[in-house]
Amino acid sequence: MEVEQVLHMNGGVGKTSYANNSLLQRAVISTVKPIVDASIEELCCTLFPECLKIADLGCSSGPNTLLVVSDIIDNIRNTFQKLNRPPPSLQAFLNDLPRNDFNTVFRSLPGFYKKLDEEPEKKLGPCFIAGMPGSFYGRLFPENSLHFVHSSYALMWISEVPKGLVTKEGEGLNKGNIYIAKTSPPAVFKQYLEQFKRDFTVFLRSRAEELVPGGSMVLTTMGSIKSDDPLCIWEFVGMKVNDMVLEGLIEEEKLDRFNMPYYAPTTKEIEEVIEAEGSFILQKLEVFKNDWDSYVKQANSGLDKKTRAAIFATDIRAVGEPILASQFGEAPMDDLFRRFEADVLDHMERENCQFINLVISLTKKR
């Protein structure tokens, strides 16, 4: 499996599209906003760029994509008003893998610019939004060409499934699961951790080359409290796939050989990689915990459990469907997410499952 070829959120604007099912990601962006704000303000007050150059890595396709840019525009305007200086122009690069649905994002830009023009209090210097397709596990931009990098809910997607999860004989090490789970042998956890360390190191090194000295990053990713027991949503999806294997609806071998290209690190693992790579000062590392469905409750108060489970199931489907379908085919997807929907909230309550969100604020050493 070439992760670059199969990993993307559901495109378009239909019922199961990521664009219409990304409430969770939206809630996270708003939780992290104060940290982004502080970072941008600090940046503006130290670097005073004529044109502020920013990148959003793993931008995906949907209303959240431009939400981040929009928040940052508000922020720059406020900061420069306080400083009593004319605001800079802005060049924003939206990055995701080449199979992301950039067309949908680009088609919403004329409306976005129009809205900016219509709100004179939002007036900034000219604002230029470009798309930059490619993997952030490697260089994306020229040297010293960015002031700020943002990434939300993207870094937990690693560059490849650890090679050591399948033996030379082609046997799967992580049978019956699609991610680190309670029934996974310890070697599975180790392989994932090593892959994460390699990937995150490359990520930091690439950004260190691209950012100007003093430039900064705010990264939000899913994490764990204990790495070898992450109580992850993909563990639960794996259980449902396993049920379908037991009923003969999915081939056992397909499950045994499949693992998600995903890793939810702990704060300690994050800190160790940053320290070892050496280009950045860690300004802040915060943990936010939420019940799996709390963002649904927040967005629509008073929904019963069944309705919340349905929304949650569509959201996870919008994220996971392309990669799951690449292994198991399109056909079992409806059934799989019906099963997911039926049990997910009971499972969450029983196991105290929570999303662990890590927010990492970094400055490039001068």
- Nearest alpha-carbon partner for 56 in 46, 45, 70, 43: 70
Structure-token match 């470009």, residue found: 130
Q: Give backbone dihedrals phi and psi of 140, rounded to 5 degrees, phi first.
A: -125, -20
Residue from 19, 59, 75, 93 touching its own copies (CB under 8 A): that is 93
Decide whether 94 or 345 has the Cβ nearer to its own copies.
Answer: 94
Show the binding pattern over residues 49-68: x = contacts its own copies (CB under 8 A), - = does not.
Answer: -xx-x---------------
Instruction: Give the range of 25-33, 47-55, 296-304, 320-328 binding its own copies by CB under 8 A.
Output: 47-55
The minimum distance between CB 327 and its own copies, in angstroms, equals 20
326 CB-contact burial (10 Å; exposed 0-12 / middle 13-18 / buried 19+): middle
Binding residue (CB under 8 A) for its own copies from 131, 164, 176, 332:
131
Segment interacting with its own copies (CB under 8 A) among 16-24, 90-98, 251-259, 267-275: 90-98
Which of 210, 235 has the CB closer to its own copies?
210
Q: Which of 26, 33, 77, 99 binds its own copies (CB under 8 A)?
A: 99
Stretch that binds its own copies, among 137-145, 164-172, 178-186, 217-225 (CB under 8 A): 137-145
Q: Does the protein bind its own copies through residue 189 (CB under 8 A)?
A: no
Q: Which of 19, 23, 17, 22 is nearest to 297 (CA)?
A: 23
Q: How far is the CB of 65 from its own copies (least distance, A)?
A: 13
18 contributes a contact to its own copies by CB under 8 A: no
Q: Which one, 99 or 347, has the nearer CB to its own copies?
A: 99
Q: Which stretch binds its own copies (CB under 8 A): 140-148, 157-165, 182-190, 293-301?
A: 140-148
The stretch among 142-150, 214-222, 269-277, 350-358 that binds its own copies (CB under 8 A) is 142-150
Name the residue nearer to its own copies (CB basis): 116 or 303: 116
Q: Which residues contact 190 (CB under 8 A, 6 or more apart)?
A: none
Task: For its own copies, give the closer residue by CB, 143 or 330.
Answer: 143
Instruction: Give which of 286, 294, 234 is closest to 264, Cα–Cα.
Output: 234
96/341 with CB nearer its own copies: 96
Q: Could you tell me which stretch among 73-81, 107-115, 176-184, 216-224 binds its own copies (CB under 8 A)? A: 107-115
Longest dimension (CA), the chain: 68
Strand extents, DSSP E, the chain: 51-57, 89-96, 127-133, 146-152, 211-223, 280-291, 354-364
CB-count exposure of residue 118 (10 Å: 0-12, 13-18, 19+): exposed
DSSP code for 12:
S
Query: How far is residue 124's CA from residue 106's CA, in Å, rounded to a whole number?
Result: 20
**And the tokens for 60?**
């995906």
* Choices 19-27, 45-53, 338-346, 349-357 (CB under 8 A): range interacting with its own copies: 45-53
**Cα Rg for the chain, rounded, in angstroms?**
21
Q: Which member of 26, 139, 205, 297 binds its own copies (CB under 8 A)?
A: 139
| CB closer to its own copies, 34 vs 138 | 138
Q: Strand pairing of 127-133 and 89-96?
A: parallel
| Selected binder of its own copies within 89, 201, 283, 327 (CB under 8 A) | 89
Cα–Cα distance for residue pair 145/337, rounded to 1 Å: 43
Name which of 321, 341, 326 is nearest 16 in CA terms. Answer: 321
Which residues are CB-neighbours of 119 under 8 A, at least 6 positions away?
none
Q: Which residues bind its own copies (CB under 8 A)?
A: 4-5, 50-51, 53, 89, 91, 93, 98-103, 106-107, 109-110, 126, 128-134, 139-143, 145
